[in-house]
């Protein structure tokens, strides 16, 4: 059994986390400059990049991890206009636009996808729902699925969630391996909490963290 700490949607409100064998971060960890729609993407990238450099210069963010040397899996959220991995250095895997990529930590295959359904056009990684489905369908068989977007009707609402039940149902009907754990954030009102369905643990760690023994 391994201990996983899943955290998400801190929006620059950093806090200490308990010890773990593996950390999963599902995005929206940065603040916006300013917070609302009139800022350009280029300015967000510049300001968030400068902030990350300042944090790296002062020792990085592993000081918040109860087990600073543990591996970390990260996916960006719609408020993150730059990669989050450089905040942590050390051993980490960052989910990219290529959702076929998989990493293995602690004997578990881990993969995921970036992106959220359309919001207003001003946020990072907004995709039409058809494109979201295409990206999700490319995820191979994994033990842990990480995303920023939440699954519809599980610790989520209709706004900002995606239906990846098709992904689960198709694999189930083909007697393929299903994830043991799906981690996400994005829907603040439904986190931090977890729910078990179909033999899969769903974890929404929004505005906090969840501890999962797997």
The pLDDT of residue 156: 82
* Rounded distance between C-alpha atoms, residue 23 and residue 26, angstroms: 10
Beta carbons within 8 Å of 194's beta carbon, 6+ residues apart: 155, 201, 202, 203, 204, 210, 212
What are the boundaries of each domain within the chain? Answer: 3-213
- What ranges in 34-175 are assigned the alpha helix state H? 41-57, 129-137, 165-173
Q: Which tokens hold the place of 174?
A: 């083909």
Chain centroid to Cα 91, Å, comes to 17
Predicted local distance difference test score (pLDDT) of residue 37 = 57
CATH code of the domain made up of 3-213: 3.60.21.10
Please check whether residue 193 is in contact with residue 14, taking contact to mean a CB–CB distance below 8 angstroms: no
What pLDDT tens digit does each residue of the chain (214 aa) get? 999 999 999 999 999 999 999 999 999 999 988 655 567 888 899 999 999 999 999 999 999 999 999 999 999 999 999 999 999 989 999 999 999 999 999 999 999 999 998 887 788 999 988 888 888 888 999 999 999 999 888 888 766 667 766 667 666 666 667 899 999 999 998 889 999 987 899 999 999 999 999 9
- The three-class DSSP label of residue 43 is helix
**Which three-class secondary structure state does DSSP give residue 175?**
coil
CB 6 within 8 A of CB 209: yes
Calculate the alpha carbon distances from 195 to 13, 151, 155 in Å.
25, 12, 8
Predicted structure pTM score: 0.93
Q: Which two tokens stand for residue 24?
A: 């999963």
CB 4 within 8 A of CB 22: yes
- Check: CB of residue 95 under 8 Å from CB of residue 73: yes
């Amino acid at each position: 059994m391994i201990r996983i700490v899943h955290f998400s949607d801190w929006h620059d409100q950093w806090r200490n986390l308990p010890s773990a064998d593996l950390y999963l971060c599902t995005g929206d960890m940065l603040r916006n400059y300013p917070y609302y729609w009139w800022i350009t993407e280029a300015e967000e990238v510049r300001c968030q990049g400068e902030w990350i450099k300042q944090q790296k210069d002062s020792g990085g963010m592993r000081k918040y991890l109860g087990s600073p040397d543990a591996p970390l899996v990260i996916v960006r959220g719609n408020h993150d206009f730059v990669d989050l991995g450089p905040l942590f250095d050390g051993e980490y895997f960052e989910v990219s636009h290529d959702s076929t990529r998989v990493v293995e930590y602690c004997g578990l295959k881990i993969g995921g996808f970036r992106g959220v359904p359309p919001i207003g056009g001003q946020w990072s990684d907004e995709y039409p729902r058809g494109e979201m489905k295409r990206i999700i369908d490319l995820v191979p068989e994994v033990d842990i699925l990480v995303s920023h977007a939440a699954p519809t009707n599980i610790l989520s609402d209709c706004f900002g969630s995606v239906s990846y039940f098709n992904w689960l149902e198709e694999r189930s009907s083909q007697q393929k391996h299903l994830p043991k754990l799906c981690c996400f954030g994005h829907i603040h009102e439904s986190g931090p909490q977890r729910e078990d369905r179909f033999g899969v643990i769903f974890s929404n760690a929004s505005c906090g963290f969840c501890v999962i023994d797997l």
